[in-house]
Structure 1
Amino acid sequence: MKEYKIAVIPGDGIGVDITREAIKVMTKVSEKYGTKLIFTELKAGGCAIDEFGEPLPKHTLDVCKDSDAVLLGAVGGPKWDNLEGQQRPEKALMGLRGGLGLYANLRPAKVYDVLKGASPLKNEIIDEGVDLLVVRELTGGIYFGDRGRCDDNGIEAAYDTEKYNVSEIKKIAHVAFKSAMKRRKKVTSVDKSNILESSRLWRSVVEEVSKEYPEVELNHLYVDNTAMQLVRKPSQFDVILTSNLFGDILSDEASMVTGSIGMLASSSLREDSFGMYEPIHGSAPDIAGKDLANPLAQILSSAMLFEYSLGMSEAARDIEEAVQNVLDKGYRTGDIFTEGTKKVGTAQMGKLVLDEL
């Protein structure tokens, strides 16, 4: 029996609730395919600050490095909002991404037919279909550039530097084009090359990489136009390739287009298939421990874990189909509940997925 080591970081708030259900699903699916998952629970984020005085203990990062994949719940909450920047729970995310070399963030945004009513967009827009993937560069750009405070002719000022090199752009571009080859073979590269020098380099490198993928259609959009097009006609997008800052913003916009943020998974990857998997929503501490959270985004994140890090595509499809079947039967947690559907809690939703499996 093949064994895989999975580092589990439930984190804060509802991260604990949703991760519990995802582990049950992962265990059942792994048994079906004759594999064994060895879970090691770790702390990062606010709970780690409370216990260890820092958001990302060295032990947590070391165990993650020695694992085959990481399943992350959510970090942060108002309890830690007044801490200094380097001590905030969110620094755990930056530390994990940088420490594990996770340079590619993949965020699918798909509108399920039975959840179309949740989208804030008009029916005629959603009816055209929304099934896109945002590929965001994760370890470069302004979030990791030089920053600081300075004196500007007697006035206090601050600066953050956006910088990319050719190697960083090539790596993330290859991820986008390879992803497109498995989808509808279209990449939209997003930049601000009419203003930014870093974007001009970005565009030229992406065009060079595209020559290695002649089957994939490449087009370019400025980031402001992309933001508009996402709400005007989201069906035009297949794979959106962009930088750390632009990807952070656009992926959140894409998630709201679907209207069901509690349904959306994400993965952060490196070259060797190692990845960290997490839902895109936050820790929602106001509903933590109350059996109200939607576990489906975390369960779908576990499907991505099977797909990308364990190479178990059939297991991933099983999980996705189980989620689809539960939705088709009308079961909903409170965040996606509408008149005429059946409201269930976190644990019941997890059990429904298990029953489908």
Structure 2
Amino acid sequence: MKIAVLPGDGIGPEVTAEAVAVIENLALPGLTLFTGDVGGIAYKRHGHPLPQATLDMARAADAILFGAVGDPDCDALDRHLRPEQAILGLRKHLGLFANLRPARVFAGLEHLSPLRADIAASLDLLIVRELTGDVYFGAKGQRINDAGEREGWDAMSYADHEVRRIAHVALRAAAAGGHKLTSVDKA
């Protein structure tokens, strides 16, 4: 198994170093770790937040361990060069469109939840979030409105195939667990 380790910026290197230590401690046969640059550090070293070498490494990997991206020193860069474009680029180029976020409270920890203990104990929630359509890649801009104020805008749009594929992921997850499906819009 090949894992691309992409530490990135901020807390990313610290977090991925600990994850790598755990992975290496498993001593799994055939496991190979490769490290690449993403985000602000990649921009500073290579002139782009997602260098082609890193993208190629990610494509060849069986899994990606991604840290974090974001660097205040890069805030003034053009949008396509900002650190967060690394994660957006990986999602787009690798077809990583679904984010699965389970929410459960482990037995014995119910009292630590802000929910009532009986509700916390039965919590079994999976949030399925689409990652490549919507405002992530839609048109964005700024303008001066009629009142003379600066305002920003994002265009939200989805193609049929984007809606269908995320719906299929959510429907399969709900059916597998015998759960209901609720569709929620960010608007």
TM-score bracket relative to the smaller structure: 0.7 to 0.9
Distance 1:151 1:165 in 2: 30
Aligned to 1:147: 140
Closer, same or farther: CA 127–151 of 1 in aligned 2, 3 Å = closer
Q: Take 2:86 and 2:72, find their aligned partners in 1: how far apart are those partners? A: 16
Q: Aligned equivalents of 2:104 and 2:79: distance in 1?
A: 34
Q: TM-score, normalised by structure 1?
A: 0.46
* TM-score calculated relative to the size of structure 2: 0.83
* Partner amino acid, structure 2, of 1:47: I
SS across alignment from 1:187: coil
- Alpha-carbon distance between aligned partners in 2 of 1:160 and 1:57, rounded to the nearest angstrom: 26
1:9 corresponds in structure 2 to: 6
The structure, 1 or 2, with the larger RCO (C-alpha pairs under 8 Å, 6+ apart) is 1
Q: Does 1:26 align with 2:23?
A: yes
Q: Secondary structure at the match of 2:165?
A: helix
Aligned partner letter, 2:9: D
Task: Read off the aligned partner of 2:18 and give its amino acid letter.
Answer: E
Distance (Å, rounded) in 2 between the aligned partners of 1:76 and 1:124: 37
Distance 1:179 1:50 in 2: 40
Asked if 1:182 corresponds to 2:176, the answer is yes
Identity %: 44
Unaligned runs of 5+ in 1: 192-245, 250-357
- Within the candidate set 124, 130, 134, 1:131 is matched to 124
Equivalent in the alignment of 1:56? 50
Instruction: Give the direction of change, closer, same or farther, for the CA distance of 1:36–1:28 in structure 2 (3 Å limit).
Output: farther
Give the match for residue 91 of structure 2.
97
Q: Does 1:164 find its partner at 2:161?
A: no
Q: Deviations over 1:114-161 (max 9, x none)?
A: 444543x24346544323111111111122222234565685654321
The 10-residue stretch of structure 1 (132-141 or 109-118) with the greater mean CA deviation from structure 2: 109-118
Q: 2:60 aligns with which of 66, 77, 101?
A: 66
Where does 1:1-357 land on structure 2 (aligned, <5 Å)? 4-29=1-26, 31=28, 35-119=29-113, 121-124=114-117, 126-150=119-143, 155=148, 158-191=152-185, 246=186
Structure 2 counterpart SS, 1:102:
coil
Amino acid at match of 2:141: G
| Deviation of the 1:104 alpha carbon | 1.0
**Aligned equivalents of 2:21, 2:129: Cα separation in 1:** 30
Query: How far off its partner does 1:91 sit?
Result: 1.6
- For the residue of structure 2 that corresponds to 1:188, the secondary structure is coil
Closer/same/farther in 2, CA of residues 26 and 53 from structure 1, 3 Å limit: same
The number of residue pairs the alignment matches comes to 186
Work out the CA distance in 2 between the residues paired with 1:148 and 1:14.
Answer: 30
Assess, with a 3 A threshold, how the Cα gap between structure 1 residues 149 and 132 changes in structure 2: closer, same or farther. same
- Provide the C-alpha distance between the structure 2 equivalents of 1:114 and 1:7, rounded to a whole number of angstroms: 35
Structure 1 residue matching 2:166: 3-state secondary structure? helix
Distance in 1 of aligned mates of 2:17 and 2:151: 45
Which has the larger share of helix? Answer: 1
